[in-house]
Chain A
Amino acid sequence: MAELTYREAVAYGIAQEMRRDSSLVILGEDIAAAGGVFKTTVGLLDEFGPDRVRDTPISEQAILGAAMGAAMTGVPVIAEIMFSDFLAVCWDIVANEIAKSRYMTNGQVSFPLVIRTANGGGVRFGAQHSQSVENWAMMIPGLKVVAPSTPEDVVGLMAASIRDPDPVVFFEHKALMGTKAEIPDGEIVAELGTAKVLREGTDVTIAALASMVPRTLDAAERLQQDGISADVIDVRTLVPLDTRTLLSSVEKTGRFFTVEENPRLCGWGAELVSIVAEEGFWNLDGPSIRITTPHIPLPAAASLEDLALPSVDRIYETVCKSVESGGGA
């Protein structure tokens, strides 16, 4: 058993896979000697050398183009995009090329690559370094989308993403970097497309992702004190999406809530609510509720950012109000 922070788990998970597969390489800005801007690649250069751990210029298109070309010619790759906001700079390669080329070529080419990136707010970086952009990736056919909330999942889902033959966009959450947990000894490999029930309950189902998971667990603890028992589900991977776990939980509880960092419009919570409405409607005892950030860019000031992001209080109060009223929040 080792205790690792979330940020250490990133390097630990990558190293696990680089030891297993000697052809696996990683590239990105400041990932080698500097160990990554979030210190998520510390130690990789020392262990694997500069041929497998490559520093790049600030050239996001060149980074992902190199990753794409290497992957499609037989070299599996991990590419880091420092902040997920910067995906916009190279979105052509992600959305138009990496995601679509398998289909366009009728299966002639494959893309065993992982695009890692630091996602989300809560660390006072302001609107251009704080976005939650997992929805950008979720809506593109051909991509898989992963967002772990714990160090163990960072390692296990990293391994699953690297071993997956499809392109995966792997969202590491910057507000979780310092969180710590024990992780098991030996090889850790999770499975994509499996949500995790972190807490069993009978009255409400709350689905959350990444940084919203610990907040939701705290809110569920308070709800329990009020006699409201919550099933808390860490969605973990948006694509493939584990709808079975969500629908069976709603069948048990009859009430569905989602907690996400995204601006209000078109977040993944809307998709989940829609699936529950289409396929679990007769199990519902009331409206499904989305707890989100307002439809705004994230502000930098601590007090304003805290107000924007779903807080433990907001999650708790929204669920309480909905359950007490028997209807919407």
Chain B
Amino acid sequence: MYRTLHELRGFGKRAHDLFLQNLVKGTTHLSLGQEAVATGFGAALQPDDYTFASYRGHAHSLARGMDPGAAMAELLGRENGILGGKGGSMHLTDASKGMMGSYAIIGAHLCTANGAAWSALMRGTDQVAVAFFGDGTTNIGAFHEALNMAKVWSLPTVFVCENNLYMEYTPIDVVTAVEHPAAGRAAAYGLEEIMIDGNDPDAVHLAARDAVERARSGGGPSLIEAITYRSGGHSRADPGKYRPPEEVGAWAERDPIPLYHARLLSLGVEEERLESIQEEVAQAIDVATEFAKAGAEPDEGSLLTEVYADGGSRWRN
């Protein structure tokens, strides 16, 4: 998990740098500071489990094993991107790794995760589906529809709210009727109220393991609220200046990476070992970046492919 934390952090920071160099176009929604959630869950899932993420999905994709070079190339809109340049930052998907998509409109992917979970039941497998989403999603109708259906159909879906305290630009508590946007509503769907420290990979991992095991063994869905904080703004366009400096400072003290570093040291892991992991990860991010930069622009012919299942876009004879 220490390695994964650094991979997610390194990838996010590099994406930010490449954006400033105008190599990443459009926008990016980074999850710097929130890496512990994707990390803890990534370590709890089997290779054929399903993950559904929101537009802030880089970390969840990498934590499921998406190749960082192919992910970086996708951000750069290159032919060697994981989606050939057709998806971009907000749609990272690698179905071969169980990463079933990042969805740029809030809410619906919770319902879609239910579908994958339902499908696993029908096919007689023990796969589970995990849906990651932000606190803002809890005020969308689809959140409530998904939880209700998951409960009444007893689906193996794990709903994970990453509460980073801000719905885009607005504090979540200003726009939400309950104090805890996800956990505070769990009882309404007959679910246990589960709230965890989203900056502690071990706490996340333990909660993930419990929820995944419950789902896998026929115990139905879980709803987990992981309290965390994004160290940057909502998107590239947002410097996050609406946040009080003392709040930003307090959360910087709780950055998951140094905290986890300290814990590992206190457990007797050698500093040299941690340093060598950091160096390996830094090199891997450099390799990924070079791979991405070396990619060609997408072939013009790809513009008109993959609209329909025959591989083309033809809608008439």
Q: Does A327 contact B (CB under 8 A)?
A: no
Q: Does B284 contact A (CB under 8 A)?
A: no
Known pairs A69-B119, A92-B108; A62 contacts B146 (CB<8 A): yes
Q: Does B188 contact A (CB under 8 A)?
A: no
- Cβ-defined contact, B83 with A105, below 8 A: yes
- Cβ-defined contact, B95 with A109, below 8 A: yes
Q: A54 to B120, alpha carbons, bound, how many Å? A: 16
Could you write out 20 A-B pairs with CB less than 8 Å apart?
A: A23-B123, A51-B122, A57-B149, A59-B148, A61-B145, A64-B111, A65-B109, A66-B111, A66-B118, A67-B115, A72-B100, A97-B105, A103-B307, A104-B101, A105-B91, A106-B305, A142-B308, A193-B317, A239-B315, A242-B316
Q: A65 to B118, alpha carbons, bound, how many Å? A: 11
Q: A73 to B117, alpha carbons, bound, how many Å? A: 9
Known pairs A61-B145, A104-B93, A243-B316; A74 contacts B117 (CB<8 A): no
List B contacts of A66 (CB < 8 A): 111-112, 114-115, 118, 149
Q: Mark A46-83, 1 if CB is under 8 A from B, else 0.
A: 00000100101101011011111111111101000000
- Cβ-defined contact, B119 with A74, below 8 A: yes
Q: Does A287 contact B (CB under 8 A)?
A: no
Q: How far is the CB of A60 from chain B (nearest CB, A)?
A: 8
List B contacts of A70 (CB < 8 A): 115-116, 118-119, 122
For A, the interface residue count at a CB cutoff of 8 angstroms equals 50
Q: Does A93 contact B (CB under 8 A)?
A: yes
Q: A229 to B217, alpha carbons, bound, how many Å? A: 68
- Cβ-defined contact, A106 with B87, below 8 A: yes
Q: Does A107 contact B (CB under 8 A)?
A: yes
List A contacts of B119 (CB < 8 A): 69-70, 73-75
- Cβ-defined contact, B317 with A241, below 8 A: yes
- Cβ-defined contact, B105 with A92, below 8 A: yes
Q: Does B301 contact A (CB under 8 A)?
A: no
Contact of B317 among A51, A56, A166, A243 (CB under 8 A): A243
Known pairs A65-B142, A66-B118, A240-B317; A105 contacts B87 (CB<8 A): yes
Q: Does A110 contact B (CB under 8 A)?
A: yes
- Cβ-defined contact, B308 with A166, below 8 A: yes
Q: How far is the CB of B181 from chain A (nearest CB, A)?
A: 18
- Cβ-defined contact, B93 with A97, below 8 A: no
Q: Does B113 contact A (CB under 8 A)?
A: yes
Question: Interface range on chain B: under 10, 10 to 19, 20 to 34, or 35 or more?
Answer: 35 or more
| Residue from A54, A93, A164 whose CB has the most chain B CB atoms within 10 Å | A93
Q: A73 to B101, alpha carbons, bound, how many Å? A: 12
List B contacts of A103 (CB < 8 A): 86, 306-307
List A contacts of B311 (CB < 8 A): 107
Q: Does B263 contact A (CB under 8 A)?
A: no
Q: Mark A78-96, 1 if CB is under 8 A from B, else 0.
A: 0000000000000011001
Q: A165 to B312, alpha carbons, bound, how many Å? A: 13
Q: A54 to B129, alpha carbons, bound, how many Å? A: 20
Q: Does A20 contact B (CB under 8 A)?
A: no
Q: A193-B316, A240-B315 are in contact. List 9 more A-B contacts (CB 8 A).
A: A51-B122, A69-B116, A70-B122, A72-B115, A92-B105, A102-B309, A141-B315, A239-B315, A242-B316
Q: Mark A22-33, 1 if CB is under 8 A from B, else 0.
A: 010100000000
Contact of A75 among B123, B142, B149, B314 (CB under 8 A): B123
| Residue from A61, A142, A239 whose CB has the most chain B CB atoms within 10 Å | A61
Q: In the complex, which residues 8-38 of chain A have their Cβ closer than 8 Å to any Cβ of chain B?
A: 23, 25
Question: For residue A93, which residue of chain B has the nearest CB?
Answer: B108
Q: A25 to B120, alpha carbons, bound, how many Å? A: 13
- Cβ-defined contact, A109 with B145, below 8 A: no
Q: Does B132 contact A (CB under 8 A)?
A: no
